[in-house]
Amino acid sequence: MEYRNLGSSGTKVSVIGLGTNNFGRRLNSSDTKKVIDTAIEEGINFLDTSNSYGDTLSEEYIGNAVKNYRHDIILATKVYSKLGDKPNDMGASKVHILREVENSLKRLQTDYIDLYQIHFWDNTTPIEETLRTLNYLIDSGKVRYIGCSNFAAWQLAMSQETANSLNLEKFITVQPEYSLLNREIEKELIPASEYYNVGILPYFPLASGVLTGKYKRGEDMPEGTRLSENKERADEILTSETYSLLERLEIFAKARNKTLLDLAFAWLLANPNVTSVIAGATKPEQVISNARTHTWKLTNTDVKEVNEILGDYK
Ligand SMILES: NC(=O)c1ccc[n+]([C@@H]2O[C@H](COP(=O)([O-])OP(=O)(O)OC[C@H]3O[C@@H](n4cnc5c(N)ncnc54)[C@H](OP(=O)(O)O)[C@@H]3O)[C@@H](O)[C@H]2O)c1
């Protein structure tokens, strides 16, 4: 496995991470443990979850799975999502964050969170309040680093400038959707994250499994897969245009004795600002395949060629 610095920090995380939004939703506690144990055996040391995944069960199952090797992993979670019907049951306010951090620590069976991320921008809370609360959590030792997710470039810029001017801890990572099939962040967020030296943690890196190559034009979707169970998302993403693009990307990869899956990871990791690619997995063998993709390093010419294939597809 290869390791990179977690954003602007000195902490090292595996370039292939593990996403966990299947845990507690599609995987029970014992299957979750199998996936996590396999990830650790493959050298993966970075897990990304949220207080909302699997209706809070993702954190609970992770806590159970990692309790014997907690100090060997870098654990990221998030706060913001709606967890109840009362006015303070969501958001990035002081009240909500201070309550939720305790709940996450309990479920994760730990006394610290390595990376605590604001899941979404909160338009109803001053960013200063959020940052002061996060700063307090770092000072108190409950949280080691802070990050944000689904932030627009201006929201990231405003956060970093506010933290700078108040001498508060800054976000070291941002977590946006990013993959060969969604390059929206290239316009504004990537330049902003480079300027502020903030690491990128791409989510949906496999476009919900489409970039594994397992969905083929004209064939039934394999049973038990995410898209076979989510027709709406399947219709949205599995268009004729997408298939044409996948076929061309596959030809590019095959010519180099690689697969589409290898390319999905290698292309993201060709950007040095990408810290870790946090693909989700439902089976141990998926984690093994994903972890082993890191050996392919694209050259600048490869990246240029792939980008030409991608063209205007967004
Ligand atoms: N910040 C946010 O708002 C946000 C939003 C979404 C996700 N996330 C994070 O990002 C992570 C990654 O996103 P994601 O897991 O939803 O999507 P993804 O990485 O694009 O796709 C993961 C899915 O692809 C399939 N897969 C993975 N590896 C495979 C392999 N080697 N062979 C065949 N199939 C494979 C599995 O689904 P099946 O086996 O079921 O087909 C798996 O659940 C999440 O787990 C979560 O931690 C964050």
What's the pTM? 0.97
Asked if residue 245 is part of any domain, the answer here is no
Q: Tell me the C-alpha to C-alpha distance, in Å, between residue 222 and each of 206, 213, 248.
A: 16, 11, 21
* Domain range enclosing 103: 3-212+261-299
Q: pLDDT 10s per residue in the chain (314 long)? A: 999 999 999 999 999 999 999 999 999 999 999 999 999 999 999 999 999 999 999 999 999 999 999 999 999 999 999 999 999 999 999 999 999 999 999 999 999 999 999 999 999 999 999 999 999 999 999 999 999 999 999 999 999 999 999 999 999 999 999 999 999 999 999 999 999 999 999 999 999 999 999 999 999 999 999 999 998 999 999 999 999 999 999 999 999 999 999 999 999 999 999 999 999 999 999 999 999 999 999 999 999 999 999 997 76
d(CA 145, CA 164): 16
Asked if residue 15 is part of any domain, the answer here is yes
- pLDDT at residue 314, as a whole number: 66
Asked if residue 306 is part of any domain, the answer here is no
* CATH number, residue 83: 3.20.20.100
Asked if residue 54 is part of any domain, the answer here is yes
Closest Cα to atom 21, ligand 1: which residue? 208
Asked if residue 237 is part of any domain, the answer here is no
Asked if residue 284 is part of any domain, the answer here is yes
Element housing 76 (H / E): strand 74-79
Asked if residue 53 is part of any domain, the answer here is yes
173 lines ligand 1 (CB under 6 A): no
265 lines ligand 1 (CB under 6 A): no
> Phi and psi for 220 in degrees, rounded to 5?
-65, 150
261 lines ligand 1 (CB under 6 A): yes
Ligand 1 centroid distance, CA of 232 (Å): 17
Q: Count of domains in the chain? A: 1
Q: Please, which residues bridge with residue 117 across strands?
A: 78, 147
Asked if residue 291 is part of any domain, the answer here is yes
Closest Cα to atom 27, ligand 1: which residue? 281
Contacts of 309 (CB under 8 A, 6+ apart): 245, 248, 249, 252
